[in-house]
C-alpha cells in the first residue's frame, strides 16, 4: 500500500517534470527536490548563529543528497584541521543515513562496526554530523560541524538542520 | 516562463511526495527520479550485448545522479586496468554533464581546459563516458565503458544509454 | 583423495585452455577457472534475492581470484557509504583468504592484528565479506555485502557465495 | 611610498592585535589581517551576483592567506566536478601567488613548468583562480571559480576579488 502511494507520487512527479523538461529544451541537470543553495545557506546561517550564541568558532559544511559539497563556512579563529572533519561529518551522515553520533556508537571496540572509520577514505565516527530532512520528510543532504566539543558541534549542526525541517 | 513551468512542476512533485513520505513514517532515502537498479542493470545488459556483438570484452560502470556507483560488470578477458577507467569515465561525464569525448576535446594542449585530468583525483578525458538521460529528459547518471578502442568504448556506452532513453 | 580430484580437474582444465589459446593465436588472457562474469552475476542475483527476502537494501560487490572487481550492484535506498565497504569487504576477504568476520576477531584491541584495517588503503574488519569457493574447492574470489547489520550483511553474502559452491 | 604605508598599517595592525591578545588571555589564533569570514562571504556574494548576471551556475571557493578553505558555494545546476576544480583554482593561485591563467601559460607543452599540474595532489592550470588582495595591498587569500568557460569563470572570480580590493 505504502509502495503504491510512492509509485503514484513518482508518476505524478515524473509527469510534472516531463512537461517542464520538454519545454526547457536541454536535459534537466538536477533531480527534483535536491538541496538548493538557498537552503544550504539557510543551514549555514542558522548554524553560525548558534555557534556565535555559544561562543565557539566552528567549521560548517553542507552536502546535498548525492553527498557532494554544497556550501561551507569557516568562522574566524576556527580550527584549520576542522575543515576536513566538518566536511567528512556531513558526508559520513549522508553515506549511512544516520548521525555520526549514532554511527560512532556502533563503531566502538567490541561493537559490530569497529574499524568502519578506515573505509571511504576516512569517516568521522563522533558527534557533529546530522541529516538534513526537508519538510516533505525527504533526506536532502547533511550538515557537519567541527570546532568545539562534540556536544557543542552537534548542537550547532542540529540548529542548522532545523532551518530547513519545517 | 520556463522557470515558472519548472516551479509548477516542482510544486506538484513536492505535493505528491509529501503525501507519500508522510504516510511512510521514516524519511525518504532517495530523491524522486534518481536512477534505479533496474534501470542501471538495463544499461549494463544493453552495453554488454553491444560489446558481444562487436566482440570486444568491456568493463561497464553505471553511476547515479549523485555520481555514485550503482552497477558494474567486467566481461571475461576484459582489462583489469579498465575497472578504474570505466568508473572514472562515468563519474567524469556526470561531473561535467557532457561526454568524456566532449570534455577531452577541450582538454588538449593549447585548449582551455588543458590539464583538467589532474583534478577530482583523476578524470578521464577520452571517449567512452556518456550521460544517462531518461525519457523525461532528466540527467539521472552516466555510463562509462573501457576495454577497446575509444570509438568502440563509446559505441558500447551509447548502446547502454539508449536502454533508458525512451 | 579430494586433492587428487582437484589436480586432475586442473590438468584437464589447463589442457582445454591450452587448446583454446593455441587456436586463438594470442596468449590466454585469463587464468583457467577464474571467476566468470556469468558466475559473478549469479552471485549478485542470489545475494539480491536474499536481501529482498529480509527486506534490507544492500550493496553487493564481487571480486575475482586476483581480488579485482568483477560485478557490483547497489540496490535502491542502500547506503552510499556502503559502495566502498562492500567492495573492501570482498577484497579484504580475498586478500587474507578468510571471512572479514574472522579477520575482525583477530583485529580487536589486544588481539594480534589490532590496527590492520589501516593497511591496504583501508580494510574492513567486520562481518559481510566471504570467500567464493567453486565446486572444485578452489577459491575463485569473494563477495562483500553492506547495508544492514553485520549479521544481515553476512547472511546475504553467504547466500551469494552458495550460488557457485555446488 | 606605497610600501611605507603598508608597513605603517601593518605595525598599527599588530599593535591592535597585541592588545587584543593580551586581553584575551590565550595566544592569538589568527594572523592579524588574515581573511575574515565576513570578507570571504562578501567575495562569494559578489561572485555569485556576477554568475547570475551572466547566467552561468558556478562553484565558488575562497581560501585564506594560509591556502585553507574559508567559504564555498555551489550554485544550483553547477557541475559537481567543479567543486574540486574551484577549490584547487583558489589554492593553486595562492600556492604560487599568481592567477591560474598565468601559471597555465607557463605549464603548456614546451614551456618551463610543463607537468606542474601533477604536483600538490593536483593543481589547476587554466583560468578562474585569482588572488585576493586587500586594500592594504596584502595578499590575503584567493578565489577559485568553475562552471562555465574559463573566461566566464575568471570574470566571476575577478568580480569576487573586487569585493575586498578597495
Residues in chain A within 8 Å Cβ distance of B27: 131, 133, 137-139
Angle at D129 between CA D124 and CA D130, to 5 degrees: 145
Phi, psi of C69 (to 5 degrees): -55, 130
* pLDDT score of B11 more than 70: no
Listed by number, the residues of chain D in 83-102 with a beta carbon closer than 8 Å to a beta carbon of chain A are 83
**pLDDT score for C12:** 53
Residue-level pLDDT at C166: 78
- The whole-number average pLDDT for the span A32-59 is 98
Same domain assignment for residues C74 and C99: yes
CA-based nearest distance B29→chain D, Å: 20
Question: Kind of pairing, strands C69-74 and C129-133?
Answer: unpaired
pLDDT value, residue A12: 45
- C116 CA to chain A: closest CA distance, Å? 9
Q: How many domains would you assign to chain B? A: 2
How far is Cα A73 from Cα A81, in angstroms, rounded to an integer? 13
Q: For the segment A16-33, what is each residue's pLDDT rounded down to a tens digit? A: 444 444 444 589 999 999
pLDDT at D26: 87
Whether A contacts D, i.e. 3 or more CB pairs less than 8 A apart, is yes
C-alpha cell at D86: 574551484
- Residue numbers of chain D with a pLDDT score lower than 50: 1, 19-23
Reported as a pLDDT band with limits 50, 70 and 90, residue B20 is very low
Q: Are residues A46 and A76 in the same domain?
A: yes
pLDDT confidence of residue B18: 42
C78 touches chain A (CB under 8 A): no
Q: Domain with D79 in it: what CATH number?
A: 3.30.450.150
CA nearest to B18 within chain A: A136
pLDDT attached to residue B26 = 87
Instruction: For residues C23 and C84, state if they share a domain.
Output: no
Chain A: residue whose CA lies nearest to D33: A76
Among candidates C79, C82, C123 on the partner chain, residue whose Cβ is nearest the Cβ of A118: C123
Domain co-membership, A4 together with A84:
no
B136 touches chain C (CB under 8 A): no
- Average the pLDDT over A158-164 and give the result: 98
Chains C and B touching, counted as 3 or more CB pairs less than 8 Å apart: yes
User: What per-residue confidence (pLDDT) applies to A6?
Assistant: 45
pLDDT category of residue B23 using cuts at 50, 70 and 90: very low
Identify the pLDDT of residue C9.
54
Shared-domain flag, residues D105 and D126: yes
The C-alpha cell of B124 is what?
A: 578521464
Partner residue opposite C73 with nearest CB, options B68, B71, B75:
B71
pLDDT band at residue A15, thresholds of 50, 70 and 90?
A: very low
Q: Are residues B71 and B12 in the same domain?
A: no
Q: Do D69 and D59 sit in the same domain of this protein? A: yes
pLDDT in tens, C133-159: 999 999 999 999 999 999 999 999 999
**A41: which chain D residues are within 8 Å (Cβ-Cβ)?**
73
E-assigned strands of B27-68? 59-64
Span B67-75, average pLDDT: 98
- Contact residues on chain C for B73, CB-CB shorter than 8 A: 37, 40-41, 70-72
Please check whether residue C40 is in contact with residue C141, taking contact to mean a CB–CB distance below 8 angstroms.
yes
Looking at chain B, the whole-number percentage of residues with pLDDT higher than 70 is 85
Instruction: Please tell me the predicted confidence (pLDDT) of residue A26.
Output: 87
Residue D28 to chain B, least CA–CA distance (Å): 35
Across residues A31-39, what is the average pLDDT?
97
Closest CA to D5 of D134, D133, D132, D136: D136
| Closest CA of chain C from B81, distance in Å | 9
Predicted confidence (pLDDT) per residue in A79-123, tens digit: 999 999 999 999 999 999 999 999 999 999 999 999 999 999 999
For the segment C91-107, the average pLDDT, to the nearest whole number, is 97
Contact B48, B58 (CB under 8 A): yes
Q: Which residue of B has its CA nearest to D147?
A: B96
Set of cell numbers at residue A141: 543532504
Same domain, C7 and C49: no
Closest CA to D93 of D83, D85, D103: D103
pLDDT at B12 > cutoff 60: no
Domain of residue B62 covers 33-162
DSSP state letters, chain D? -HHHHHHHHHHHHHHHHHHHHHHHSS---S-TTPPPHHHHHHHHHHHHHHHHHTT---EEEEEETTS-EEEEEE-TT--TTHHHHHHHHHHHHHHHTS-HHHHHHTTSTTSTTTTGGGSTT----SS-EEEEE-TTS-EEEEEEEESS-HHHHHHHHHHHHHTTT-
Q: Which residues in chain A touch residue B30, judged by CB atoms under 8 angstroms apart? A: 65
**Contact yes or no for B77 and C36 at CB 8 A:** no
Chains touching D (at least 3 CB pairs under 8 A) are A, B
Question: Which whole number is the average pLDDT over C21-37?
Answer: 83
Q: Length of chain C, please?
A: 166
Taking CB atoms and an 8 Å limit, are D37 and A69 in contact across chains?
no
- Please indicate, yes or no, whether residues C39 and C25 belong to a single structural domain of this protein: no
Residues A132 and A73 in one domain: yes
Per-residue pLDDT, B119: 96
Asked if pLDDT for residue B45 goes beyond 80, the answer is: yes
The answer, yes or no, to whether residue A9 has pLDDT greater than 60, is: no
D43 & D105 share domain: yes
Measured distance CA(A89)–CA(C153) in Å, rounded: 24
Do D69 and D26 have their domain in common? Answer: no
Confidence of residue B166 (pLDDT cuts 50, 70, 90): confident
Task: List the single best residue of D70, D86, D90, D147 to mutate versus A (max A Cβ within 10 A).
Answer: D70
Query: Is 80 exceeded by the pLDDT of residue A154?
Result: yes
**Residues of chain D contacting A72 with CB distance shorter than 8 Å:** 69, 71-73
pLDDT at C4: 56
Joined grid coordinates for residue C70: 568483477
- pLDDT above 50 for B127: yes
Q: In sequence order, what are the residues at sequence separation of 6 or more whose Cβ sits closer than 8 angstroms to the Cβ of residue C1?
A: none
Sheet-wide strand order for C59-64: B129-133, B139-146, B59-64, B69-74, C69-74, C59-64, C139-146, C129-133
Give me the pLDDT at residue B10, please.
45
Percent of chain B with pLDDT over 90: 83
pLDDT confidence of residue B139: 98
Cα–chain center distance at D53: 21
pLDDT above 90: percentage of residues in chain C: 84
The residue with greater pLDDT, B4 or D132, is D132
Which residues of chain B lie closer than 8 angstroms to C73, CB-CB? 37, 40-41, 70-72
B31/A20 Cβ within 8 A = no
Confidence label for A166 from pLDDT (cuts 50, 70 and 90): confident
Amino acid at each position: 500500500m505504502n509502495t503504491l502511494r510512492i509509485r503514484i507520487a513518482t508518476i505524478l512527479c515524473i509527469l510534472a517534470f516531463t512537461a517542464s523538461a520538454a519545454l526547457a529544451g536541454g536535459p534537466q541537470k538536477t533531480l527534483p527536490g535536491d538541496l538548493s543553495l538557498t537552503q544550504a545557506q539557510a543551514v549555514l546561517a542558522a548554524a553560525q548563529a548558534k555557534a556565535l550564541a555559544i561562543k565557539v568558532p566552528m567549521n560548517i559544511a553542507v552536502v546535498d543528497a548525492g553527498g557532494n559539497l554544497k556550501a561551507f563556512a569557516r568562522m574566524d579563529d576556527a580550527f584549520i584541521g576542522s575543515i576536513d572533519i566538518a566536511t567528512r561529518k556531513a558526508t559520513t551522515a549522508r553515506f549511512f543515513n544516520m548521525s555520526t553520533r549514532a554511527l560512532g556508537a556502533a563503531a566502538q571496540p567490541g561493537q559490530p562496526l569497529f574499524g568502519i572509520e578506515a573505509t571511504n577514505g576516512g569517516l568521522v565516527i563522533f558527534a557533529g554530523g546530522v541529516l538534513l530532512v526537508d519538510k516533505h520528510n525527504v533526506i536532502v543532504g547533511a550538515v557537519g560541524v567541527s570546532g568545539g566539543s562534540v556536544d557543542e558541534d552537534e548542537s550547532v549542526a542540529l540548529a542548522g538542520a532545523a532551518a530547513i525541517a519545517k
